[in-house]
Amino acid sequence: MKKLLHITFLIAGISIVGFVVHAQNVEDLRINEVMLFNSDNYVDNFGQRSAWIEIMNTGYNSVNMENCYLTNDLNDLKKYRIPSGDPISIIPTRQFIVFLADMKTEHGTLHLNFTLDSINRFIALVSSNGKTILDSVTVPLLGSNQVYARTTDGGPIWCTSQYTTPNSTNEGQIEKTSPSEAFGAFDPSGFIMAIIAMSVVFISLIFLYRIFHAIGNANQRASRRKKAKEMAGQPIAHEDEVAGEVFAAISTALYLYETDKHDYESAIITIERVSKRYSPWSSKIYGLREMPPRIIQHQPKR
């Protein structure tokens, strides 16, 4: 009897310790990064994009998330229960897991039964008792492909960023400034941009100008040489100065003439033989213009 009592105490003790350890482990979980509008970012195993929530295990032991809850509604803390028995819900030390808010639970454990959008921006991670909120965040309105993330993994400071790190560390990434912000800090007035950009535009077009100037000159020289060759031996005819407008008018007329010729015309002009085909309806033989043959009735001779 005494032995049985000891065993019972031992089992109860192990259970309590186990529960406490489990509870401590679960408390190491943090919502680390959230994306509301995913148009060009993280793709799930089904090739689809949706809002996502990254959870991090900030502790130094692996944590099993089974039976914990995720929700986007403070009045319904048990909205999505993470199924038990799926090894995917075990997060190794200092690692991450990404849940997809796509309302497609049939796709697996990581797919939640709610979505995130401009209205539903509250997220809470709830312990397995369905009451204790382990971590929660209200995400500000984000742009497409932007995230709301902790500046350091599990740290207290959040920021909005266009740099996203699903399933990996936020350290040194999230706070990275975008090229435009960096350029803005370097050139707050915009004058340096104006000078550089105008110089590049000018350089590009000066290059083009120089090349086509050279090509044009070479062309003119070649045509002059050709003309001179053709004229060699022929008496030089005196030509009056002709105004440019005349050449323009001739060129326009030629151009119009050339462009007016088509391979396919919209209308077809053709000669069709008109033949009077035989038809009994128009046949003179059967026509009624002829008087019907007179029927001569012969009187029988008596």
Partner 1 sequence: MEQVQGFFSFLWDNLMQFAEFTGFANATWGHIAMILVALGFIALAIIKEYEPLLLIPIGFGIIIGNIPFVPGFQLGVYEEGSVMNYLYFGVIKGVYPPLIFLGVGAMTDFSALISNPKLMLIGAAAQLGIFGAYIAALQLGFTPSEAGAIGIIGGADGPTAIFLSSRLAPELLGAIAISAYSYMALVPVFQPPVMRLLTTKKERVIRMKPPRQVTQMEKILFPILGLLLTAFIVPSGLPLLGMLFFGNLLKESTVTKRLADTAKGPMIDIVTILIGLTVGASTQATTFLTTKSLGIFVLGAISFIVATAGGVLFVKFFNLFLKEGNKINPLIGNAGVSAVPDSARLSQMVGLEYDKTNHLLMHAMGPNVAGVIGSAVAAGILLSFLY
Q: Which residues contact 136 (CB under 8 A, 6 or more apart)?
A: 31, 122, 123, 124, 125
Give the nearer residue to partner 1 in terms of CB position, either 16 or 203: 203
Applying CB under 8 A, the span of 1-9, 63-71, 126-134, 173-181 interacting with partner 1 comes to: 173-181
Interface pick for partner 1 out of 184, 253, 282, 287 (rule CB under 8 A): 184
Q: Which residues contact 60 (CB under 8 A, 6 or more apart)?
A: 93, 94
Tell me how far, at minimum, the Cβ of 105 lies from partner 1, in Å: 20
The answer to the question of residue 159 lying near partner 1 (CB under 8 A) is no
How far apart are the C-alpha atoms of 154 and 288, rounded to whole Å? 110
Interactions with partner 1, residue window 230-259 (CB under 8 A): 244-245, 247-248
123: enclosing H helix or E strand: strand 122-126
Give the nearer residue to partner 1 in terms of CB position, either 186 or 278: 186
Give the nearer residue to partner 1 in terms of CB position, either 37 or 69: 37
Interface pick for partner 1 out of 193, 231, 253, 254 (rule CB under 8 A): 193
| CB neighbours of residue 219 within 10 Å | 11
Q: Is residue 31 a contact partner of residue 55, using CB atoms and an 8 Å limit?
A: yes
The answer to the question of residue 204 lying near partner 1 (CB under 8 A) is yes
List residues bridging with 40 in a β-sheet: none
Report the candidate in 131, 133, 130, 90 with the shortest Cα–Cα distance to residue 109. 90
How far apart are the C-alpha atoms of 299 and 91, rounded to whole Å? 130
The answer to the question of residue 46 lying near partner 1 (CB under 8 A) is no
The answer to the question of residue 198 lying near partner 1 (CB under 8 A) is yes
Interface pick for partner 1 out of 1, 3, 189, 256 (rule CB under 8 A): 189
Pairing mode of beta strands 51-57, 96-101: antiparallel
Residues near partner 1 (CB under 8 A) are 143-144, 178-181, 183-184, 188-191, 193-194, 196-198, 200-209, 211-213, 215-216, 219-220, 223, 244-245, 247-248
